[in-house]
């Protein structure tokens, strides 16, 4: 192999090494991002569940307050 051929082979080897390193870095990044996405999705599901729970509690509280107001009005009217 002549000098030109060796230079080409050397450049191809360096390109392959760089490509391999970039692939490894990209793969690691993709795995980390995938994990973060799953964690975030779990947090979102938990938050949605908590929102539904507190919405239900708020509806029950509003219903109770309305009932209490009606009872109070009836008792006050009865005293007149």
- How far is C-alpha 38 from the geometric centre of its chain's CA atoms? 7
Average pLDDT of the residues in 54-60? 98
Tell me the pTM: 0.61
Residues 7-40: pLDDT tens digits? 889 999 999 998 998 999 999 999 999 999 999 9
Alpha carbon distance 14, 22 (integer Å): 12
CB-CB contact of 1 with 9 (8 Å): yes
Q: How confident is the model at residue 55 (pLDDT cuts 50, 70, 90)?
A: very high
Q: How far apart are the first and last CA of the chain?
A: 114
* Enclosing domain of residue 66: 1-80
Alpha carbon distance 43, 7 (integer Å): 54
**Average pLDDT over all residues of the chain:** 94
Which residues, at least 6 apart from 1, have a Cβ–Cβ distance to it below 8 Å? 9
* Cα Rg, the chain, nearest whole Å: 34
Average pLDDT of the residues in 69-80? 90
Give the chain's domain count.
1
């Amino acid at each position: 192999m002549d000098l030109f051929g060796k230079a080409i082979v050397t450049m191809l080897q360096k390109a392959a090494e760089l490509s391999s390193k970039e692939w490894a870095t990209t793969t690691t990044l993709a795995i980390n991002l995938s994990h973060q996405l799953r964690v975030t999705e779990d947090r979102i599901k938990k938050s949605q569940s908590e929102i539904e729970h507190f919405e239900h509690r708020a509806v029950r509280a509003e219903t109770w307050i309305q009932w209490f107001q009606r009872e109070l009005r009836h008792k006050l009217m009865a005293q007149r």
